[in-house]
Amino acid sequence: MCCNSLIIWCNARFPEDVRQQLCQGASPHKIVFARKLQASNLVAGEPDADLTAAHIAFGQPDVPSVLAAPNLRWVHLTTAGYERFDTAEVRTALHKRDAILTSSSSVYAEPCAQHCLAMMLALARGLPAAWDNQRLARGWPSGDIRRGSRLLRKQNVLMLGFGAIGRRLAELLHPFGMYITAVRRVVTGFETVRCCLEADLLSILPEADHIIDLLPGGEGTRNFMSSDRFELLKKGACFYNLGRGSTVDHAALLASLRSGRLAAAYIDVTDPEPLPPDHPLWSAPNCFITPHTAGGHEGEPLRIVRHFLTNLHHFTHGEPMRDRII
């Protein structure tokens, strides 16, 4: 798509130096900032009248406003997740106008993959037990922690979802000699790991030592990890969620932890968010929670903007878009 001048609407709040790089990098196109800017990219924006005239939306636009914007040809989200846009209504509307939806998955692939690996290594090497001892008893339980430590080598990893984050995580896990399987909606045959469909979960789940939820939110994945699926897991398996909280039946997760079927759970996302202080997951045995920080990293705003500007170049030159969803 070759365009001389486009109107780019943005509702993301960036540091001033990053904002200037966005405006300079987008030239000769016009950046129009929303009246109310979003400090967090995890929150949907409010309706904004200026979106009506825009050709491109960058940030977290309000879905009804996107559907009502007659000139909009491309929406670029500042998150890896896109559940608010993953509906039949949105897909139909964007397809009808030949519009594009992209995400920032590539920005978050590295930090999220590293976060998950950190979780896996911490548990395998008994770090939570050592930290608890340092905070509380301050004893010297060397024997117990050593006996409980494990090696990741030759363990089975099951990824639920295999997008940008899953692909990077597979690369990080490769040197550990782990056996990796991923479940996808569609298997292309070009994946770098063994891939299966959801229908194969009945036979795959009982083999997994590590189950890593990387699924997007939305009605199609709600409670994907249900009570029935948790009951299929082998005793001593570990569960990780870096996808969306809505993909997990939290009551079933809690029951699996309390029964000892799960050795541990590391969750970065919950439903709801923030997780209420009195929620039982906070005190569940061997449940470790980070407050949706897996994607955080130094230079995050600048990387988001650079990713958008790269896609802007592709968009205006009719080239394939990165992290394209629709």
> 239 with 263: CB under 8 angstroms?
no
| Beta strand ranges found along 138-269 (DSSP E) | 156-160, 179-183, 194-196, 210-213, 237-241, 262-267
The per-residue pLDDT for 3 is 60
237 — pLDDT class (breaks 50, 70, 90): very high
Both ends of the chain: CA-CA distance in Å? 16
CA distance 257 to 283: 11
pLDDT tens-digit profile of 42-79?
Answer: 778 899 999 999 999 999 999 999 999 999 999 999 99
The per-residue pLDDT for 262 is 98
Average pLDDT over every residue of 130-148: 97
Domains of the chain with CATH codes: 7-103+298-316 (3.40.50.720), 109-289 (3.40.50.720)
User: What is the helix (H) or strand (E) element at residue 76, kind and residue range?
Assistant: strand 74-77
pLDDT tens-digit profile of 87-117?
Answer: 999 999 999 999 999 999 999 999 999 999 9
The per-residue pLDDT for 59 is 97
The per-residue pLDDT for 207 is 97
The per-residue pLDDT for 261 is 96
Please report, rounded to a whole number, the percentage of residues in the chain having pLDDT higher than 70: 99
pLDDT at 1 over 80: no
> 12 with 38: CB under 8 angstroms?
yes
Tell me the two tokens of residue 279: 């929620």
More confident residue, 114 or 39: 114
Q: What single DSSP character describes residue 225?
A: B
pLDDT at 152 over 90: yes
Q: What is the mean pLDDT of the chain?
A: 96
pLDDT tens-digit profile of 204-224?
Answer: 999 999 999 999 998 899 999
> 319 with 304: CB under 8 angstroms?
no
Average pLDDT over every residue of 280-294: 97
The per-residue pLDDT for 41 is 76
User: What is the helix (H) or strand (E) element at residue 32, kind and residue range?
Assistant: strand 30-38
